[in-house]
Structure 1
Amino acid sequence: MSGKYFISAIIILSFQFFLYGCEPKVEKTEFNWQLRDGFPRPQTPVSNPMTNAKVELGRKIFYDKNLSFNQTQSCATCHQQIFAFAENLQTSVGSSGEKIRRNSPALVNIAYNKTLTWAHSGLDTIERQLLIPMFGENPVELGISGHEEIVLSRFKSDEYQKLFESAFPEEDISFELIVKSLASFVRSLVSLDSPFDHYAYDGDDSALSESALRGMNLFFSEKLECHHCHGGFNFTQSTFHEKQILDRKPFHNTGLYNVSVKGDYPAVDNGLYEITLNDSDKGKFRAPTLRNIEVTAPYMHDGSIATLEQVIDFYAAGGRNIDSGNYQGDGRNNPLKSPFIKGFEISEQEKSDLINFLKSLTDQNFLTNKKYSEPVKDSS
C-alpha cells in the first residue's frame, strides 16, 4: 500500500502478532469470532468452549439487575457499551453504595488478555475474575455472598429455563453455569473495526487523516516509546492467543505517585505488590488496551487523570508531582518507575496529532453494535 507511515507501524504490530508460531492446544468450536482474516483466535478454556447459546444467555444475564443481591445493579451498570464497556466515573460504586477503589476497566478484546483486572498476575481466566464482582465482600459489588439462594432463584423463570437448556443441555441452573455464560458473552466483545484497522489491514489510505498519520509515527517512535507497553494488534502487552503463549509481564509503575522515598503508592492501592508482596512490584499496574481509549475516560487505575491531553502531559513529564495533600510526592523520582517513563518534549501540534491517532482507535460499530446491547424485552 502507499501509506508512507504504514511500514514503520506495521513492523511493530506484526512483531507481536506473528513471532510466536508455536500453537498450544485450543478447544475447537463452531463459534464464529468474526475476526479479521489472519488474526489469531483467542484462547478459551477447554471446560467452557464458546457457543452462540452461551453468549446469548450471558448477554441477557450481563444486563439483568437480578444478579445483584438488592436488584439495583447489573454487570452493565459499571460496564456500559457507549463507553466501550467501561464507566465514566473515576471509580465505580457497588450495589450497596460502597465505593470501589479502582476505575472500571473497558471490556475490549479481553478474550485476548493474558491477565485480568488492573493488577493480578495470577488471574488469567474470565471465569475466575467474575467471582470477584459477584461474590466479593470487600468491597461489595454485586453482593451475592450470603444471598446465594434468593439470587439463584431469580434465574429459574420459564424464559431463563429455555435459555439455560439451550446453552447447557440437561444441566441444573447454577452459579457455575451463570459464570460460564457471562464469561462467554464477555469473550465475544471483539473490537477490530476502527479507522486504524481500515488503514492498517484493509489498505485504505484515506481512513486516517494526515494529523493521525503523524500521530501514529510519533506513537511508534523511540522518542515517545508508547508502543513498548501498548504494542501489538491489541495495543497492550497483556496479550495471549493461539499464536502467542509467552508472558510479556505487562505490569508497570508509571510514576503516578511517590508517597515515600521507597516509591510507595497510596496505601489504598499499591498495585501488583498486594499479590506478590515483592517490594519491586509496588505501584505496578497492567497496561490496558488503547483500543477505544477516546471513550473510556477518566484514565489510570484510579481514574485520577481526566483527559487524554492530561495523560500525554503526564507521560511527557515522566511522572506526576503532587506538591501537597495526603499523596504528596514526586512520581517523576519514583525509584520503582518503569525505565520507559523517561519524559519527552512534545509540541502542541504533536500532541494534537497523537490524540488524533488515539481517536483513530475508536470502533464506532463496537459502541453501537446491537448484538452487544441489552436484549429487547419480550412484550408478549
Structure 2
Amino acid sequence: MKKTYSMAAFAAIFVTVLSACGGGSETRYQTGSNTEAQVFNWNLPEHVPLPIVPTDNPVSEGMFALGRHLFYDQRLSGNASQSCASCHHQNLAFAESLERSIGSTGELHPRNAQSLVNVAFNTTYTWANPALISLEQQILVPLFGEFPVEQGINEDNKDSILAELSDDPVYQELAADIPNNDSSELLNFDIIVKALATFVRGINSFSSDTDRYENGETTILTDAAKRGRSLFFSEGLECFHCHGGYNFSDATADSSQLFVDMPFHNTGLYNIDGEGAYPEISQGIIEITGKASDMGKFKAPSLRNVNLTAPYMHDGSIATLGEVIRTYAAGGRNISNGPNAGDGRTNPFRDGFISGFNISEDDIQNLIAFLESLTDFELINNPRFADPWEN
C-alpha cells in the first residue's frame, strides 16, 4: 500500500530535515523593501506589492542564479535521476501533465504537482499543510521527505551529493558570488535550500492578456473571453470568492498585509462513505489538524496559467477545464461506481461557495476563453527561468 501524508509522517519528515539543514529557529520576515530587494529583478507591476521574504534569506541575484542551477540539476537527488524541474516544467508554468507525480525511486506521490508560478505570494505551501508557511520549509519536503520519497536525499547519501556539487567549478563560482555568505563552506544544504527558495520566489507571472486588459488594452481580449470574465466575477458563479485578487487565489499574502488568512476548501470532490470521507491516500488538512471538519479541505491554487497545468484538483482527477466547470456547476462530483463512489454534492464538509449554478455550454466555452487569457507566454519562454545547463 502506498504511504500517504499523516501527522506522524510529517513529524518524521521535519525531525529529519530540520536536523539535516540546521533548522528549527524562529522564522522572521522582511517586507522585501531593503536595498537588496530593490535591486533584485522581481518582475512585478507597480500595483502588486512585494512578497514576504524571510529575514535570514534576503533575495539577491547571486542566490537566484545558484538556485536556478540547482533547480535543474538531477544530481540533487539520491540516485541522480531527478531534479526539481522533473516535476515542474517551464513550458507548463512549472507544473506537469501527470495526474500525480512520480518520485526518483518510482514511488507515486499522493498529489498533483502544483504550478510554482507566483508562489512567493502563497500563504501556505503544498496542497494542504497549514504548518508550511515558507518556501524554505516546503523545499525540505521534496528533498528529504520519505512519505513519499521524491528526490530521495537522506543520511546515507547527502554527504556524497554535497561533495559532488561542491566539486563542480560552476557551483564554486556561483557560491563565491553569494553576498554576505558567512558559512565556512561555499556550499551546504542550508545554502542549497535558500538558493532554491530564492529562485522559485522569483518566478513571477503578470504578463497575461488579462493583465494587459486590466492595464488598459481593452481590445486584447476576445469577446468570448470578456463574456467569460463577466461570468467569473459574477455572484451567480462565485469563482472569484476563492480565486480572486491579483493572484487569482484567496490564499495570497504579501508585504502590504497586516493580517494573513490561510483558507482551505472542500469542493465536494468525494464523499465515499456518505459522511464526507475522501480517499485515504489524500484527505486534506485533516491529516495535519486531526479535526473532522477539515476532511477534504485543500488550498485554492492560483488560476494564473491554468490552461497549461492540467490535469486539475489536488489529485489530478479532473482532466479538463470544461469538466472542472461542470463539476462546480453541479455543486460537487457524483461518482457512480468504483472504490471512490459517492455523491460529493452532499458532502457535509463542502464549502458554502460550492453550491452549484446554471450555465449553458456556450457560457462554459466563454469561461474557458477567459481562463485561457490568464496564460503568460512571456513566462514560459523567459530565458531567466530556463535550464542554464542547456546553454
TM-score (norm 1): 0.91
1:350 matched residue in structure 2:
363
The aligned amino acid for 2:345 is R
Cα-to-partner distance string for 1:71-126 (whole Å, 9 max, x where unaligned): 11100000000110000000010000111110000001000111100001111100
Question: Match for 1:133 among 136, 139, 142?
Answer: 142
1:317 matched residue in structure 2:
330
Question: Match for 2:288 among 250, 265, 275?
Answer: 275
1:34 matched residue in structure 2:
43
Question: Match for 1:244 among 257, 267, 273?
Answer: 257
Within-5 A mapping of 1:157-236: 157-168=168-179, 169=181, 171=183, 172=185, 173-201=187-215, 203-236=216-249
Equivalent residue of 1:251, what SS?
coil
Question: Match for 2:161 among 141, 144, 151?
Answer: 151
Shift of 1:158: 1.9
Cα-to-partner distance string for 1:300-340 (whole Å, 9 max, x where unaligned): 00000000010011001110111111111100000000000
Equivalent residue of 1:371, what SS?
helix
RMSD: 1.2
The aligned amino acid for 1:191 is S
- Pairing 1:257–2:266 present: no
2:22 matched residue in structure 1:
none
Alpha-carbon distance between aligned partners in 1 of 2:157 and 2:30, rounded to the nearest angstrom: 38
The aligned amino acid for 1:363 is D
Q: Is the 8 A contact 2:30 2:55 kept in 1?
A: no
Shift of 1:246: 2.5
Shift of 1:377: 4.8
Shift of 1:376: 4.3
- Pairing 1:109–2:118 present: yes
The aligned amino acid for 1:167 is I
- Pairing 1:95–2:104 present: yes
The aligned amino acid for 2:125 is L
Alpha-carbon distance between aligned partners in 1 of 2:161 and 2:30, rounded to the nearest angstrom: 36
- Pairing 1:330–2:343 present: yes
Shift of 1:45: 0.4
TM-score (norm 2): 0.89
Alpha-carbon distance between aligned partners in 2 of 1:294 and 1:191, rounded to the nearest angstrom: 14
Alpha-carbon distance between aligned partners in 2 of 1:34 and 1:333, rounded to the nearest angstrom: 44
Q: Is the 8 A contact 2:123 2:262 kept in 1?
A: no
The aligned amino acid for 1:317 is A
The aligned amino acid for 1:181 is A
1:62 matched residue in structure 2:
71
The aligned amino acid for 2:161 is V
Equivalent residue of 1:286, what SS?
coil
Structure 2 unaligned regions, length at least 5: 1-28
1:85 matched residue in structure 2:
94
1:367 matched residue in structure 2:
380
The aligned amino acid for 1:70 is N
The aligned amino acid for 2:170 is E
Alpha-carbon distance between aligned partners in 2 of 1:159 and 1:351, rounded to the nearest angstrom: 50
Q: How many residues align?
A: 354
Sequence identity percentage: 48
Structure 1 unaligned regions, length at least 5: 1-23
Alpha-carbon distance between aligned partners in 2 of 1:303 and 1:130, rounded to the nearest angstrom: 21
Alpha-carbon distance between aligned partners in 2 of 1:142 and 1:245, rounded to the nearest angstrom: 36
Q: Is the 8 A contact 2:305 2:372 kept in 1?
A: yes
Moved segments of 4+, more than 6 Å: none
- Residues 161 and 334 of structure 1, relative CA distance in 2, 3 Å threshold: same
The aligned amino acid for 1:87 is E
Shift of 1:38: 2.6
Cα-to-partner distance string for 1:109-167 (whole Å, 9 max, x where unaligned): 00011110000111110000000000001110000013111111121122211111111
The aligned amino acid for 2:31 is V
Shift of 1:355: 0.3
The aligned amino acid for 1:340 is F
The aligned amino acid for 2:277 is D
Alpha-carbon distance between aligned partners in 2 of 1:79 and 1:134, rounded to the nearest angstrom: 14
1:300 matched residue in structure 2:
313
Cα-to-partner distance string for 1:196-237 (whole Å, 9 max, x where unaligned): 000002x00111111101100000001100000001000001
Stretch moving more, 206-215 or 167-176:
167-176
Cα-to-partner distance string for 1:28-63 (whole Å, 9 max, x where unaligned): 123131211232000100000000000000000000
